[in-house]
Amino acid sequence: MSQKEQEIKFISGNVAAAYAARSAKVQVISAYPITPQTVVVEKLSEFVDSGDMPAQYIKVESEHSVMASLIGASIAGTRTFSATAGQGLLYMSEMVHWAAGTRLPIVMTIASRGIAPPWNIWADFTDVISQRDAGWLTAFASSHQEIYDGVLMAYKICENEEVLLPMFVAYGGFVLSHTFKPVIIEPDDKLEKFLPPLPDEKGWPHIFIDPERPMMHGNLIMPSGFYYEFRMKIHDEMMKSMHIIKQTALEFEKIFGRSYGNGLIQEYKMDDAEVALINIGGLALQAEQAVDELRQEGYKVGSVKLRHFRPFPTEEIINIAKKVDVIGVVDRDTAFGSPTGGAVSSECKSALHGTGIDTIILPIITGIGGREVSVEQQKEEFKKLIKLKETGELPKDMIHGTLWDGILEVK
Amino acid sequence: MIEKKIIEIAFHGRGGQTAITASQLLAEMAYESGFKDAIAIPIIGAERRGAPIQAFSKISRDTQIRSYSSVTDPDFILIFDTTLLMIPRVFATIKEGVILIINSNLKIYFNNNLPKNVKIYMVDATGISLKHELAIEGFPILNIPMLGAFAKVSGFYGLDIMEKVIKKKFGSRAEKNMKTARDAFEMVKEMI
């Protein structure tokens, strides 16, 4: 169980997520397997079985029951964890909303995959984006290390009394879940300095189960009751969580020495950039490679990693828009019928509304259903932004105002 | 030998031949031997035993690896099964200057179809694996002998590093695996 020294392990993204739950001293895990997440809960079952992790491991019959059981465990005042993906998350959806409504700091990793039909198991963030309005904080990881670090930060953010909301940490299926890289696993003494203490027998400040003092929760509330006010509080505290996220990223950097920007976004070579590309997940890290290669060719380009989609960092997006004339916003997800067809680009556009900033946002959709996105392709995306800046000319073959990059010709 | 910053290795095998594990072990061995960064990238679909499998490793001596995409222009290609050379998309990845390591005990005739400066090394990984009874359900395990051959050909890591990683991964089965590594290291030969 104990990790005395820092260790570098050569592991997959999924195994990094499992190590993070172990490092975070998670007390209850509830699990149902689904590709490409399965290795997370398999690895955790090994940890628990070998006595490496003193946690309760609940095997249930569906994802819906995963979240239902974690809600019970969390109300009882324990630190809880699970992982899911794609259809599993959709099946869990009712309880996903319930967890946020009960204000429980549950953390769950999502190895994102395309939604069926047709059946798809590869990277696509439509699964986690589909839970956009459930009241979960939503973070994306761009590297194996960021999966591990992101889960640690998640507990610190969610369990803060000013937040008390659940959080997703999402990463692309296969792109990160099944690739292997070196990951730093932190020792107990450093973790203890960073993580909040485990909840005591009194549980969370707002709710706890005690057989000596029975209570009801989540029961019917009349329209004249406080339902409306509860909803406002979720939004209010989600918005206020932004400063907790920033503070947590700072503390994380101080203790572990790894920087994640201001927690909400992470900029790369943005200081003198003329155009910028915003990405979520692994494509954000890969875009940094594209930036470096283009800068060698003399192009002044920069990259922005959107770490949090919920809460949405409106102010940060406005600041990016103040720096550059053109921003490409890349969605590896679909939001059918929305203004741009992609969830992130729609929000970025809405962030600029009413600010008087005339920076152009070029919505880009790419990598859907795990379609491979190369560094070369990302360089071409940057070049399209430069062309747009210099000539005002939009890329050819836009579909409803969005560049569907890498799409095959459809008749 | 190779000037590129990031060295890329492609693996072609059949489901059950452990090509994907080989890509992970190679990346880990390179990392253990002092490369600054390494990544293993399996291409995963609805594979079954016997179906063609692809995997990649990228290793870098001094830069961080930030790309997750598959390898289109490899420096090394490890062929676990000679019949895969007959698949056009596999054959097409053999480009000028590539180093091939092929699991075979028979000379292969390419009939002048190869690009320039392709070096071919042969190792009887199947024979070595069978000799040391390294098989699961009768199927010979090829990853360690292929990596033993790669160690010799590339010089990127030695048998000592292999032993360290293999012990960590395979525990009680490590010694048997190391025997195949040493044999392959000795027996791999350039095909002229």
Q: State the smallest CA–CA distance between residue B60 and chain A in angstroms.
A: 12
Mean pLDDT of chain A, nearest integer: 97
**A1 has a pLDDT exceeding 60:** no
**Residue in B with minimal Cα distance to A285:** B66
**Can you spell out the DSSP letters for B123-147?**
E-HHHHHHHTT-EETTEEP-HHHHH
Look at residue A394 and give its three-state secondary structure. coil
- Taking any CB pair shorter than 8 Å as contact, residues of chain A touching chain B are 10, 36, 172, 174-176, 178-182, 282, 285-286, 288-289, 372-375
**Residue in A with minimal Cα distance to B43:** A174
- Chain B residues touching residue A375 (CB < 8 angstroms): 67, 69
Q: What angle do CA B62, B68, B70 make, to 5 degrees?
A: 105
Domain boundaries, chain A: 7-256, 267-405
Would you place residue B156 in the very low, low, confident or very high pLDDT band (cuts 50, 70, 90)? very high
ipTM of the shown complex? 0.95
Whether residues B66 and A176 touch (CB distance < 8 A) is answered with no
- Between β-strands A275-279 and A180-185, what pairing exists: parallel, antiparallel or unpaired? unpaired
**B123 has a pLDDT exceeding 90:** yes
- Beta bridge partners of residue B11, listed in sequence order: B55, B78
**A154 has a pLDDT exceeding 80:** yes
- pLDDT single digits (tens) A75-118: 999 999 999 999 999 999 999 999 999 999 999 999 999 999 99
CATH number listed for the domain at residues A7-256: 3.40.50.970
CATH for the A267-405 domain, from 3.40.50.920, 3.40.50.1860, 3.40.50.300, 3.40.50.2300: 3.40.50.920
- pLDDT single digits (tens) A343-368: 999 999 999 999 999 999 999 999 99
- Chain A residues touching residue B24 (CB < 8 angstroms): 10, 180
Helix (H), strand (E) counts: chain A? 12, 15
Domain B6-190 has CATH 3.40.1280.10: no
CA distance A156 to A248: 7
